[in-house]
Amino acid sequence: MTDSTQRTTAIILAAGLGTRMKSRLPKALHRLGNQPMINHLITTAREVFDDIVVVTGPDMPALEEAVHPYRTVTQVERLGTAHAASTARELFGTGDVAILYADNPLITAETMKRLLAARQEGASLALLGMRPSEPGRYGRIVEEQGRVTKIVEFKDATEEERRIPLCNAGVMCAGAEDFRNWLANVHNDNAQGEYYLTDVVEMAAQNGAVICVEAAEAELAGVNSRAELAQAEATLQNRLRDAAMDAGVTLVAPETVFFSTDTLLEADVTIEPNVFFGPGVTVRTGALIRAFSHLEGCEVGEGAMIGPYARLRPGTLCGAHSHVGNFVELKNVELGEGAKANHLTYLGDASVGAATNVGAGTITCNYDGVFKHRTTIGERAFIGSDSILVAPVTIGDDALIAAGSVITQDVPAGDLAFGRAQQTLKTGRGIQIKQSLKARKEQG
């Protein structure tokens, strides 16, 4: 960071429609790690730069909302990257300015710092480059004696220039006043009739050294299609998995676990294969998340065991050493310390006390078609299998609910509740019905 008179600024170009994405959604809002890709870039940029400005296109209120509270400017006409950057020139400030792209979401803070350092060490302009395995249609960086002389867009490049392996990632950094002057002199006499930001490189080379800072292809590759979005997701997931394991988390089959960028896992957590973490999940130390579980907006306490095949929905808090078993779904539930719901159960809008056992097939009926209602179960209670708890209802501490009960009224602490229909026996009637059915089957 710099002093208040020389604040650094990141300008993020995000006005692209993403035609190749074949989507009504602005390209910058397509998601990686369960958040818009532009938010990845903003999160990283704010580690490095003092100010952030986002250039949006017209009629993109959702994008403006996603980047709030950062300032935005609108590129009314999409006339190229230099035109987009020029739209924000009044917000460049007085220090160094970096031009970033929303569709390059995986640039690391370390690389941004190297770019800024190259500029502050004397380069008139610093830019990012890469050596992709398939250079394809990337612009080529032309160098002489280690200094960049120009960038040639693929459509305007000669055959010799297209053989250059060093490719432009689009990101560049220079002093604010220099950038303003260069942008004012960019013209659109090229194959596309657009104002290319890359044209400032030749201008900068006339004023001083232009330095290329190289980074890995996976970090700098752009996202312009669904296939490239999937590749970026794979890169991000590998980063998140490595970070989790470095922090002391055991991933039994790392390649099968899907994280959100805000997933928080403490040391000594174990994750079995094929687990999905949606946004807003925290898992405390020593917890075990078993295979094929889905977690979102929840917290799992120390030493708890979740799954296999469990679903934890938003608002759920599983206390320390609690158990949530196979085919159990919890939504907006507080499951107390040591409480168990081990089989085939749905609990919604409920509080379950410590050491309570919820039997297989239990359901809290929390929705009446209009309103949600809460079920409160005390500590050390036992809820028999196939019980239906019709909310709002309260089950006291140490209460016992008989299997197969439908509970519509509160159960005081320590009481036993039956809510079954009366059983009736018809002597010999069972065999008569079976014989009748067999006869009908034989008759077709």
Domain that holds residue 117: 9-220
Cα–Cα nearest to 211, from 246, 261, 173, 266: 173
Residues constituting the chain: 444
Task: Report if residue 442 sits inside a domain.
Answer: no
User: How many C-alpha atoms does 371 have within 13 Å on its Cβ side?
Assistant: 5
Determine whether the annotation assigns residue 27 to a binding site.
yes
Domain count, the chain: 2
Question: Which pLDDT does position 4 carry in this prediction?
Answer: 44
Same domain, 168 and 36: yes
**C-alpha angle with apex 161: 156 to 167, nearest 5 degrees?**
90
Same domain, 246 and 151: no
Cα–Cα nearest to 288, from 279, 275, 298, 296: 275
Determine whether the annotation assigns residue 103 to a binding site.
yes
Same domain, 116 and 206: yes
Determine whether the annotation assigns residue 75 to a binding site.
yes
CB 13 within 8 A of CB 84: yes
Phi, psi of 11 (to 5 degrees): -105, 115
Task: Report if residue 425 sits inside a domain.
Answer: no
| Angstrom distance (rounded) from CA 61 to CA 441 | 65
Same domain, 206 and 302: no
Question: Which pLDDT does position 1 carry in this prediction?
Answer: 41
Q: List residues bridging with 390 in a β-sheet.
A: 365
Question: Which pLDDT does position 3 carry in this prediction?
Answer: 44
Residues with catalytic annotation? 343
Least confident stretch, 218-232, 237-251, 258-272? 218-232
Determine whether the annotation assigns residue 361 to a binding site.
no
Dihedral-angle region of residue 428 (phi above 0 means left; psi in -120 to 50 means alpha; beta otherwise) = left
Task: Report if residue 431 sits inside a domain.
Answer: no
Same domain, 274 and 213: no
The stretch 140-162 carries a mean pLDDT of 89
- CATH assignment of the domain containing 144: 3.90.550.10
Dig out the tokens for 308 from the structure. Answer: 């296999």
* H or E, element range at 247: none
| Angstrom distance (rounded) from CA 124 to CA 96 | 10
> Residue 55 — pLDDT band, cuts 50, 70, 90?
very high
Neighbouring residues of 67: CB distance < 8 A, sequence distance ≥ 6: 12, 14, 38, 39, 42, 54, 56
Same domain, 176 and 235: no
Determine whether the annotation assigns residue 313 to a binding site.
yes
Q: Which of 220, 242, 260 is the last residue of a domain?
A: 220
- CATH assignment of the domain containing 381: 2.160.10.10
Same domain, 183 and 264: no
Task: Report if residue 444 sits inside a domain.
Answer: no
CB 261 within 8 A of CB 40: yes
Cα–Cα nearest to 389, from 343, 350, 440, 441: 350
Rounded to two decimals, the pTM is 0.89
pLDDT digits (tens, 9 = 90+) for 302-342: 999 999 999 999 999 999 999 999 999 999 999 999 999 99
Same domain, 248 and 385: yes
Same domain, 209 and 63: yes
Determine whether the annotation assigns residue 341 to a binding site.
no
Determine whether the annotation assigns residue 350 to a binding site.
no
Same domain, 252 and 272: yes
Same domain, 245 and 158: no
> Tokens 């890709």 identify what position?
37
